[in-house]
Amino acid sequence: MQDDLPLAGVVAVELSDNASLPYGGQLLAGLGAEVWKVERPGGDATRTWGPSRWRGEGVAFHALNRGKRSICLDIKDPHDLATLKDLIQGHAHVFSHNLRPGSAAQYGLDAASLRANKPELVCCELGAFGHVGPLNKEPGYDPLMQAFGGIMTLTGEEGQPPVRAGVSVCDFGTGMWSVIGILAALYRCKGTNKGATVNSSLLETAIAWMSLGLASYAADGYPGSRHGSGVAFLVPHRAYPAADGHIAVSCGNDRLFAKLCEALGHAEWATDERFANNMARVANRDAIDGLIGDALAEHTRAHWKDVLGRAGIASAPVQTTAEIFAHEQTKALGILGHPADDTLELVGVPLSFDGQRPPPLSAAPSLGRDNEQLKSLLRKD
């Protein structure tokens, strides 16, 4: 199936470190692109991340860099820099990097320099604060952007210290934006033979995730607040304690709320003026959340999943990593798997084409594994 994937034949060179761009590059590889990952001497920082390790390296590297070739080049070394440029100019359709803004130009790896000789090249530059503005040269990582972008002000419980989302939403989101931009640029290039420079950043991703909160502020100055597992604009729409854990319940409209009340044995809540419509429930969220929580606490998650399901109410148990790993729905999707050259089960591409998910990517490469292949490739030029 690899030759049938949408990006078969596309060659991407990725000068990357950490999480955002490597995640994007892995998505490109999962869609069929040939991805050459360029690592500095010593390797990508994720090779040393903990706590879990696999084959002597941080498992994070394996989770973010499957399906790629690895070449180890020091761009501060003139010979290695020339080698990288030869690979890009001679073979790449896409070149992406997450160097600090301004650094690429020092080495002639900026879009203007590379596209001067190869105008059809698609260049993608990812940063922390963005490619323009007074902070564009500042470094930044996912927690910093969740802080600066306002996400932490809406995450966690009111009155408690700021909380970061438990997964790297800015890193992974920026990697996704990079792929979207690259695909759009490749599509345009196919008809015009004109490349593009794609820019995105962790901060732009954070701001994008704040779309609803920023809209509220623009409309009436509401700055937002924390609601734990809930949200500002809809009630009920959160996790509640059950007898054996927590279960998330969501009612997207007043009709569904009435059904929830009936399923919980309290049809009278739906006609209580404090709860009769969503705006009223938002204003009285503590009261209704407390009532719903007390009712749900009487039985298990499985009991309520069945009862609410029969009533047409959307719900989901709050699952641990182990539970989602083992769940029959996860298995049915086939999104976890391992390639022939490894036994570590990891997440695959979250897309299917004509009902088929792209096959598992090959294992993440050892540092500089493909240096000799690169030399052979360039000797043929």
Strands (E), the chain: 11-15, 34-39, 53-54, 57-58, 68-72, 94-97, 122-127, 196-201, 237-242, 245-250, 314-317, 336-337, 346-347
Number of residues that this document lists for the chain = 381
Q: Which amino acid is at 368?
A: G
Cα three-residue angle 154-308-277, rounded to 5 degrees:
55
- pLDDT (0 to 100) of residue 333: 97
- pLDDT (0 to 100) of residue 100: 87
CATH code 3.30.1540.10 for 237-317: yes
Mapped onto helix, strand or coil, the DSSP state of residue 72 is strand
How far is residue 17's CA from residue 90's CA, in Å, rounded to a whole number? 23
Q: What is the pLDDT of residues 197-250, one digit of tens each?
A: 999 999 999 999 999 999 999 999 999 999 999 999 999 999 999 999 999 999
**Is 171 annotated as catalytic?**
yes
Within 8 A by CB and 6+ apart from 255, the residues are none
- Residue 54, by phi and psi: left (phi above 0), alpha (psi -120 to 50) or beta? beta
- pLDDT (0 to 100) of residue 2: 62
The gap from C-alpha 176 to its chain's centroid, in whole angstroms, comes to 6
- pLDDT (0 to 100) of residue 101: 83
Q: Is the pLDDT of residue 52 over 60?
A: yes
Q: What is the pLDDT of residues 323-339, one digit of tens each?
A: 999 999 999 999 999 98
Per cent of the chain over pLDDT 90 is 97
How far is residue 225's CA from residue 378's CA, in Å, rounded to a whole number? 56
pLDDT band at 351 (very low <50, low <70, confident <90, very high): very high
Q: What is the pLDDT of residues 304-326, one digit of tens each?
A: 999 999 999 999 999 999 999 99
The gap from C-alpha 240 to its chain's centroid, in whole angstroms, comes to 26
Q: Is the pLDDT of residue 25 over 80?
A: yes
Mapped onto helix, strand or coil, the DSSP state of residue 4 is helix
Strands (E), 86-228: 94-97, 122-127, 196-201
Q: What is the mean pLDDT of residues 181-186?
A: 98
How far is residue 64's CA from residue 108's CA, in Å, rounded to a whole number? 27
Q: Which of 171, 220, 254, 294 is catalytic?
A: 171
Helical packing angle, 202-209 and 211-220, nearest 10°: 60
Residue 15 · residue 84 · CB < 8 Å: yes
pTM of the model: 0.94
Q: What is the pLDDT of residues 122-158, one digit of tens each?
A: 999 999 999 999 999 999 999 999 999 999 999 999 9
- pLDDT (0 to 100) of residue 82: 97
- pLDDT (0 to 100) of residue 30: 97
Q: Which amino acid is at 207?
A: I
How far is residue 107's CA from residue 78's CA, in Å, rounded to a whole number? 9
Q: What is the pLDDT of residues 268-313, one digit of tens each?
A: 999 999 999 999 999 999 999 999 999 999 999 999 999 999 999 9
- pLDDT (0 to 100) of residue 380: 85
Mean pLDDT, rounded, of the chain: 96
Q: What is the mean pLDDT of residues 192-201?
A: 96
Mapped onto helix, strand or coil, the DSSP state of residue 30 is helix
Within 8 A by CB and 6+ apart from 265, the residues are 295
How far is residue 232's CA from residue 226's CA, in Å, rounded to a whole number? 8
Domain(s) labelled CATH 3.30.1540.10 in the chain stretch across 237-317
Structure tokens belonging to residue 281: 């429930």
CATH T-level fold of 2-209+334-379: Rossmann fold (3.40.50)
Q: Which of 368, 362, 372 is nearest to 338 (CA)?
A: 362
Domain(s) labelled CATH 3.40.50.10540 in the chain stretch across 2-209+334-379
Residue 224 · residue 213 · CB < 8 Å: yes
Q: Is the pLDDT of residue 1 over 80?
A: no
Structure tokens belonging to residue 283: 């204003």
Mapped onto helix, strand or coil, the DSSP state of residue 248 is strand
Within 8 A by CB and 6+ apart from 340, the residues are 362
**Other C-beta atoms lying within 10 Å of the C-beta of residue 339:** 16
